[in-house]
Structure 1
Amino acid sequence: MQVSLYTEKLLIPVLDRIQQSSTIYILTAFAMKSGVSLLKSALAEAAERGADIKLLTGDYLYVTQPDALNELASIHENIEVRLWRSSGISFHPKAYLFESEAQGHSIIGSSNLSKSALTNGVEWSVGILEHEEKLLFEEASRKFINLFQAENTIAVNLETAKRYEEEYIDFHQQHPDLARTWTKQEEQELMLPDEEKPDPDSMVMETEESYSVLAPRFAQIEALEQLHSTVEEGYKKAMVVMATGLGKTYLAGFFAQNFGKVLFIAHLEEILHQSAESFLKVMPNKTAGIYNGRQKNQDAELLFASIQTLSMKRHLEVFDPEEFDLIVVDEFHHAAAASYKKVLDYFKPSFLLGITATPDRADNRDVYALCEGNVAYKIDFLEAIQRTWLSPFHYYGVYDETDYSKLTWRGTQYDQEELIAAQLRTEQAAHIFQSWETYRKTRTLVFCSSIRQADFLSSYFADKGYRTVSLHSRQKQVNRKDAARALADGELDAIFVVDLFNEGVDIPTVDTLLFVRPTESLTIFTQQIGRGLRLHPDKDHCVIIDLIGNYRNADIKLSLFDTTTPTAKKEKVIQPVVPLSCNVDLDIQVINLLKELTKKRQPRREKLFSNYLMVKEVLGRRPSYLELHLYGEMSANEYKAEFKTLFSFLHWANELTANEQEVFLSHENWLREVERTGMNKSYKMIVLLAMLERGIDNWYKPITALEAAPFFHTYLTSKEYRKRIDFSDGQGKKLWDYDQEKVAGLIERMPMSKWSGSSDGLVRFSDGEFSFQIEPDNSAKKTLYLWTKEICEYRLHQYFKRREN
């Protein structure tokens, strides 16, 4: 090990290491354009040679310059850049981490990403060069990846940089004195509320209840049957959606018995050890190993890997892409994140299984696409309650008089200082305490917004004579596992938590849940509800006490409890229909509030536009039709219902260029025809896709059924589910074996003749030739071709997903 002190010109060793390293991680509290410019060329060259490059900077006090983010986003497409959304929480790390084949070099100190810090400024940094074991580098890399993949970071692209610039300008207009100070002195420590996010390494875990007889039970039996059928039908990927408490990990273990080498991926390291124990109970003769920042047991038959470690290029490439027969991804709703996509794109297993209780991510990306839309088995907590596999609940909606409309919304959450000021009031604590005493049972988890709220309420309840503790990332006096045990054993009345009990934690004896935070994410709310629904001999039902005010999502959260068939209007549920064993009791003020909020909800078109902008920011560009559906919280069908076609929406939203506007106005009827034509089968869109395969200049020109037949047959037989769902001749006879004449006859009889007869002249089938009656000029050809293809691909995706469900 070699230790160096850098007190000037840090740029020299940083550039030297960038040129030599295969892994480059840069973490700074803020970034200035001057600093990015110094590293830009070297980083671009490193990206070209395939280095794994990740940069994380922060928005704390809006010091980071918008131009710096734009520069970072434009260096190279293979460089990952993310922005830490601090919400006023102090964020001051500075680290430059490099790894080559033989060395790990960690430079940690005071230098941010600015010209002053990297050249002539007064900065001190310590560089540690390690060989062989590289313990410090491994630990620093693991901590970096935890920050880089945290929920409150966002990908930096041209769209998110644009939004940041608007916030930056707004902040500095409100704080001009701070802006002048930063111009002179690039960073100044200003003590705002010192809240912290929990360290994933310190999450509370409780060992699962053991099975008296180790065999599938309850939902596991049904899920295994469906998974085995899925394998027999030729699928390579599947997702199982099972409510918390039904044994997803054991299900994966039972399923894994049919495979050789297995990789289990999780985002919390504690889950790795818990899952390894579960798998070994199912398969005691197998070897199990952990692959994370501390252990590298890569040769085990059952390997349990941390996504934070596995997503690093140097660790990923330790494995052969075809090394694993089965890959299981725990909490699959996280798998749409870039780190998971990198890993899943690399490996080629015989089968991929995703398991989750909440398939819809907090950031609304659709993980169904990752398993090709194949949901082998699904059971939510309401159905599990109906089947007596989970505990019933009694829900009490308690009115919260806090006026959240006066609080600033920061994109994903309320302004932390304003929220804390509204929550830390004695009269508010008294109201919460009275509601809890009225409805509570014996063991309570209280979900709070912040560390200060958790401490404040815990002290208030303790002053009233109850045994309480607050658990969060800064709690040093209380051992969290001991606190969980004490609650389970009845030695505590309540634990006040901040983002610690969302996933991977089960205390079956918990019989009361108290929500004293606004619901910002319906996914997290669902996860937290699951903390109280595990069965236990001493629990006949779980009490849920929920403070409801005029915060965002308040008027749609109760739809989570509704057992009626989902509809487009389900978000307007006020009094949900719950399982017979459950109750919902709402204060009259809550009912009136929810009705009022429903009336005032964002107009439909504005909601669609807001959803579109969110997806655009995620991708950094205008989304395609299918991408809007996969990554948005609103179905693309809703755009069709409101605007007839997505491109009508884009025209309304001023998202089209001048040339695109001309194309839209000239060919709107054609676009609407492709959108609206009926699809009892997939055949029309497959013929259209076959025509599109001929290219921009020829796609709309005549084609015969014989010419379309080879593509048509290949498309339907290339995926087992397509063949099974849709390939017959109309009389039920399967056409799996290729016979060009028979397939051509089917094409003529069904899509070509039927589409021609229902298209108002836009589609023609005459003398054996099928064509579209459109003539785009040269300036419109490419755009119309691409738009038609977008609609076609979206409709095929939707058709097969609907039929499969």
Structure 2
Amino acid sequence: MIRPGLYEQIINRLIQRDLAELDEMEFYVERGPIDDAESTILLAQYMEQVLRVALDTTRGEDSLRKRVELCNQLIQMLAEKTADPYVNNLLIRSDAELLLALLKKQNSAMGVAKETDITGVRPQTSIAQSSLFTGARSEPSMVAELQREILTSDRIDMLVSFIKWSGLRLLLNELQQFTERGQLRIITTSYMGATDIKAIDALRGLPNTSIRVSYDTNRTRLHAKAYIFHRDTGFSTTYIGSSNISNAALSSGLEWNVKVAASDQPETYEKVAATFEGYWSDSEFTAYEDIQRPILVRALRAERYQGGSVGGSFVFDIRPYGFQKEILEKLDAERNVHGSHRNLIVAATGTGKTVVSAFDYKRFREAHRGMPNRLLFVAHREEILTQSRDCFRSVLHDENFGELFVGGLEPARLDHLFVSIQTLNSRNLPGATSSGFYDFVVVDEFHHAAARTYQQLLEYYAPNVLLGVL
């Protein structure tokens, strides 16, 4: 029996029968026409499902031969119905073999392997079927598969937020072999100051290699990670997921990456390739040459130590000092002993009050696991907001945490927002959110709170915790 819920299913006889048996007073059925422009894809996907069912029922002795015969009968019928002689060329040979490679014996990375055994360089996972990498011990390692993909590609594009030497050295030998014959293009950024200049220097030393860099870390904030392996045979692949070029991401980390095969997901593969081309042509990404090295070095350093903040790549673990722990203990006592959840931190400039608020929020989030734990951080200057966001990211060990809403910066989500008081009022953030939307509100430089511009904020929102910093 068909179950209630959302569908995007071609209606066949079985589904039509189930729909006819429904009580119209109890169920609402929404139907829609198949769009002519999408009909080829939709019908092909449906026929794939039908063919799987039919082939699976063909079992027993000599089942492979019977399945090939069934496929060929279907192909012959399609050739007759379409009157297209080309379709007959798609008939499967009776010996049911796969073509696995066609190699030049000279100037080929695979050509150095034994002619009868190329498993040493062929990817272990299929290049014709998409798959998922989760970092599990039972599956091929991400780095091993990337090494094999590199050696068997004709062109390579990479899109990563940052490049660590620890990760690049795992792939460098294969990239050196590849770039002797093929083109390598890389897009990266100076975001978080996480890239190692040593890695960029190594890539610049490779032939047939081009690099483009985005230095606008506030507006662009490129987090996409994609490794695109183009093959002239049509069996191209791309890895999309969470792995930047670092040792942890490629070898030991619990990173998830989807391997998309152009053979079974051509639309997705083409979209990835086209998006990369769009980025490559975008003026936001600057062509990197040796003359730009000092610029990149300064940009990376500025990101790591911007304004003296604790933001940047998480090369060390931030821990509260003794006096900061004391403040956190007093906040805990105020809330859990005295039931006061509207608190004010008063401390001298330079004592790390923002760090305290970040640890306070971290503790709140850990105590409310599974809840939204929405954060609103309000200040009056963009510089303070940027430094505060970086501080929270470092304390939480989450480089994607929080979004800026100030000046020309527009957030994609409102859940963890660092907003200027001017933007909060001019864009009427209270009008776009409910009074209880934010669980934890921090107001920086709380002595400004007496101003009229802060009154709507303080009177409207009813968070679990309101923390003023002075």
TM-score scaled by length of structure 1:
0.24
TM-score scaled by length of structure 2:
0.40
